[in-house]
DNA sequence: CATATTCTCGCAACCGTTTTCGTAAATAAA
DNA sequence: TTTATTTACGAAAACGGTTGCGAGAATATG
């Protein structure tokens, strides 16, 4: 067991611990000769500094927290990749926490983040979250917070999102242009800005085209377990939608399965477009038209902002609202009838 | 900013820091009355203990590291979920590290894990890894290590895998039973036991059925970027395989795309089966036959073992080889011609 | 040669908690 | 009442680094 710490090195070289510490940190106070000796011994004995001792003294943990609703979702997986890629270059460590879409969990997690364990927090809030109290507390403790994708609107801090309103509009117009007259929007939350904004865009498009109110359905698929049933019910209803916009990736599979089960043809009977970063989109039956979010880039950008906030306390995160646009990738699932 | 620590509480209540510390930890040495006062003040001032100070003193970090090749993969995402679900109940924190399938990265990560930052390590090794040196060092430092899915065979420690050999056999037999005579196995590594074992099963099945050597292709798709091209080349070759076994999830999309592009019909021209936990498998074109790995359960089991190893130093991990079987889910992509 | 500077290094406090040990007061036993 | 015992707490030393400051030696400056 390597109990080798600074004290051991000091002993061995007949130097003081402070000298060792400074030598290892390449301080100008130490002669090159001594530095060399210290470094050499350190590598020879496989000295590895204890990060917690250092954190305690320096009040910096070189660690960030990433709080997200779930990880079994391509969007979040890719975002983590983006975050990690930046953290790596900065020498930061990444703690992952999952809220499982529950506000109570999120609260507990964020409380812990006040402990000094992390220098900053990247968060995509749960679909239940309606209050920014916990995040305010973090900010009061000088812990920078950056939202990515799912933000809490009342909080003043940096956020990296995609052009949700516009994409809602684009998605709706896409359906309308392909002949839909009764499009429905499948949301997962009544409070998440990403959903609200996309819905606003959706509504605006229908408004403009003059689709009657009765034919503008917005459906809330809040519960994961009942989603499939709920979608089947919708597809069997009298005024069955002729177009569906899936607000998030996890709605896609139940929609497709329901259509297959009910012998409803995509795109002839109902056209489907989804907000998703699914890499199987092109090989689905039929290939799925997506609004593809730049998940990796969002993660990278959010992390970059967070580190700016961490490293320069003068940097004002509150005005940083970055929008990275998504792109519509048209495939078979929304092909117009011919 | 809450600079409230034990010292502040002590000051406020005119007690010593040791008394506060003991009261908070509900020590028998402290009177109920004092405990109550301390607790009350602690919650009132929103006292949150500094984990690093505690870690330093107790030499326990209540943190584990999860080292994996990548996170944009359903298998690993689900595994993380499983790990996290156990860590949560145990009050542990989870650091995520990505090797990006590079041994050099993995090495750096594992070196850092010797610092005392973590109490244990869960790892699924990179496809490049051929040496167990780094992991030996961890063990020498009394840091328990548990493998999940991708193991390094020379290391004596707990591992949670699935029945790879058997599944290789099952997958191959499945193809053979559906009429394939020139099945190919698409691997991603020449050293990973998961691949080697699956290949062994594959070979055994072909052997038994008497498929000639020349018709037992094992193809190594090591490079992510060239995978699509490589697969196309294979599908255009003279002795084109009539069945494909994708050893991991990420091979699926390129295979399907290549077949579509080349107008090769699945399952009539080539049958496809994949080791995957893809939840879009049933809605692919055609629905994909999978060997579905119990990713979530593997994560849970591995974490459970790791915590046993962490919490009781007497617990001998070295003999814990847990195998959680995968299941074959048959779908259209391997339907027999009729 | 005297004084000022620069170069190296050690001392000791500190970060926030935990834990051992000692001890005064309160209670029980004799 | 005296002697054990228990109860409730405090002092201080850890844990492993970091850092401000002081000081001796070496060098430069006048």
- Is it the case that residue A286 has pLDDT exceeding 90? yes
β-bridge pairing B158-161 and A217-220 = unpaired
Other CB atoms closer than 10 Å to residue A243's CB: what's the count? 23
- For residue B194, give the nearest of B108, B78, B275 by alpha carbon: B275
The helix or strand, by DSSP H or E, that contains position A314, with its residue range, turns out to be none
- Per CB-CB distance under 8 Å, the chain A contacts of B49 are 115
- Is it the case that residue A266 has pLDDT exceeding 60? yes
pLDDT at site B211: 85
Tell me the C-alpha distance between A248 and A76, whole Å: 11
Do residues A249 and A277 lie in contact, with contact meaning Cβ atoms separated by under 8 Å?
yes
Tell me the C-alpha distance between B218 and A198, whole Å: 47
Average pLDDT over every residue of A200-227: 89
| Most distant CA pair in chain B, distance | 87
- Is it the case that residue A212 has pLDDT exceeding 90? no
Average pLDDT over every residue of B121-128: 96
Same fold, A59-162+295-324 and A164-292: yes
pLDDT at site A1: 46
pLDDT at site A313: 84
Question: Does domain A59-162+295-324 sit in CATH 3.40.50.2300?
Answer: yes
Instruction: Kindly indicate the confidence band of residue A155, based on its pLDDT and cuts at 50, 70 and 90.
Output: very high
pLDDT at site A149: 97
Q: Is the dihedral of CA B136, B142, B143, B149 positive or negative?
A: positive
pLDDT at site A214: 75
- Is it the case that residue A292 has pLDDT exceeding 60? yes
Average pLDDT over every residue of A41-60: 96
Average pLDDT over every residue of B132-159: 95
Tell me the C-alpha distance between B329 and B282, whole Å: 10
- Is it the case that residue B313 has pLDDT exceeding 90? no
Fold of B61-162+295-325: Rossmann fold (3.40.50)
Other CB atoms closer than 10 Å to residue A219's CB: what's the count? 16
pLDDT at site B3: 84
Tell me the C-alpha distance between A78 and A148, whole Å: 12
Q: Where are the domains of chain B?
A: 6-49, 61-162+295-325, 164-292
Tell me the C-alpha distance between A202 and A266, whole Å: 20
Burial class (CB in 10 A: 0-12, 13-18, 19+), B338: exposed
Kindly report the bases of strand C lying within 7 A of a protein C-beta atom.
Answer: 7-22
Protein-nucleic contacts, chain B 86-125 to strand D, CB < 7 Å:
116
Average pLDDT over every residue of A117-123: 98
pLDDT at site B2: 56
Do residues A75 and A295 lie in contact, with contact meaning Cβ atoms separated by under 8 Å?
yes
Asked which of B193-197, B238-242, B246-250, B283-287 is least confident by mean pLDDT, the reply is B238-242
Put simply, whether A336 touches B (Cβ < 8 Å) is no
Other CB atoms closer than 10 Å to residue A72's CB: what's the count? 20
Instruction: Kindly indicate the confidence band of residue A2, based on its pLDDT and cuts at 50, 70 and 90.
Output: low
Q: What is the pLDDT of residues B259-311, one digit of tens each?
A: 999 999 999 999 999 999 999 999 999 999 999 999 999 999 999 999 999 99
Tell me the C-alpha distance between A106 and A129, whole Å: 8
Q: What is the pLDDT of residues B164-192, one digit of tens each?
A: 999 999 999 999 999 999 999 999 999 99
pLDDT at site B1: 46
Tell me the C-alpha distance between B42 and B213, whole Å: 73
Angle, helices A6-13 vs A32-44, to 10°: value is 120
The helix or strand, by DSSP H or E, that contains position B120, with its residue range, turns out to be strand B120-123
- Per CB-CB distance under 8 Å, the chain B contacts of A257 are 282-283
Put simply, whether A87 touches B (Cβ < 8 Å) is no
Peptide bond into A286 cis (omega under 30): yes
Burial class (CB in 10 A: 0-12, 13-18, 19+), B28: exposed
- Is it the case that residue A159 has pLDDT exceeding 50? yes
Instruction: Kindly indicate the confidence band of residue A259, based on its pLDDT and cuts at 50, 70 and 90.
Output: very high
Q: State the best of A86, A96, A112 to mutate against chain B, taking most chain B CBs within 10 Å.
A: A96
Q: In what order do the strands lie in the sheet with A243-246?
A: A217-220, A183-187, A243-246, A271-275, A289-292, A327-329
DSSP assignment of A170-220 equals: HHHHHHHHTT-SSEEEEES-SS-HHHHHHHHHHHHHHHHHT--GGG-EEEE
Put simply, whether B34 touches A (Cβ < 8 Å) is no
The CATH code of the domain at B164-292 is 3.40.50.2300
- Per CB-CB distance under 8 Å, the chain B contacts of A97 are 84, 94
Average pLDDT, whole number, for chain B? 95
Q: Helices (H) and strands (E) in chain B — how many of each?
A: 12, 12
Give me the phi and psi of B154, to 5 degrees please. -75, -10
Angle, helices B295-311 vs B74-90, to 10°: value is 40
Average pLDDT over every residue of A142-167: 96
Give me the phi and psi of B292, to 5 degrees please. -90, 120
Put simply, whether B56 touches A (Cβ < 8 Å) is yes
Residue B290 forms beta bridges with which residues? B274, B329
Q: What is the pLDDT of residues B56-94, one digit of tens each?
A: 999 999 999 999 999 988 999 999 999 999 999 999 999
Residue A64 forms beta bridges with which residues? A94, A120
Average pLDDT over every residue of A76-100: 97
């Amino acid at each position: 067991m390597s109990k080798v710490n600074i004290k051991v090195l000091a002993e061995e070289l007949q130097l003081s611990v402070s000298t060792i510490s400074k030598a290892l940190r390449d301080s100008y106070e130490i002669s090159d000769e001594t530095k060399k000796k210290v470094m050499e011994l350190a590598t020879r004995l496989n000295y590895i500094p204890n990060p917690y001792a250092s954190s305690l003294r320096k009040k910096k943990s070189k660690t960030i927290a990433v709080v997200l609703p779930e990880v079994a979702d391509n969007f979040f997986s890719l975002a983590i990749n983006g975050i990690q890629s930046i953290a790596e270059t900065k020498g930061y460590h990444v703690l992952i926490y999952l809220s499982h879409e529950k506000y109570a969990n999120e609260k507990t997690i964020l409380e812990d983040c006040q402990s000094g364990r992390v220098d900053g927090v990247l968060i995509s809030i749960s679909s239940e979250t309606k209050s920014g109290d916990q995040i305010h507390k973090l900010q009061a403790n000088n812990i920078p917070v950056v939202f990515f994708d799912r933000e809490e609107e009342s909080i003043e801090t940096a956020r990296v999102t995609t052009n949700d309103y516009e994409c809602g509009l684009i998605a709706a117009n896409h359906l309308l242009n392909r002949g839909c007259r009764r499009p429905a929007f499948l949301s997962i939350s009544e409070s998440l800005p990403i959903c609200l904004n996309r819905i606003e865009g959706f509504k605006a498009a229908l408004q403009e085209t003059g689709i009657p109110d009765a034919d503008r359905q917005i459906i809330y698929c809040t519960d994961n377990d009942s989603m499939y049933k709920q979608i089947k019910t919708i597809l069997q209803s009298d005024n069955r939608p002729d177009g569906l916009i899936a607000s998030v990736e996890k709605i896609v599979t139940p929609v497709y399965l329901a259509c297959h089960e009910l012998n409803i043809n995509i795109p002839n009977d109902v056209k489907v477009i989804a907000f998703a970063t699914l890499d199987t989109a092109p090989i689905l039956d039929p290939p799925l038209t997506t609004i593809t979010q730049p998940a990796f880039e969002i993660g990278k950008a959010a992390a970059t902002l967070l580190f700016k906030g961490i490293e320069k306390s003068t940097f004002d995160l509150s005005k940083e609202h970055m929008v990275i646009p998504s792109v519509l990738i048209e495939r078979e699932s929304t092909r117009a009838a011919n």
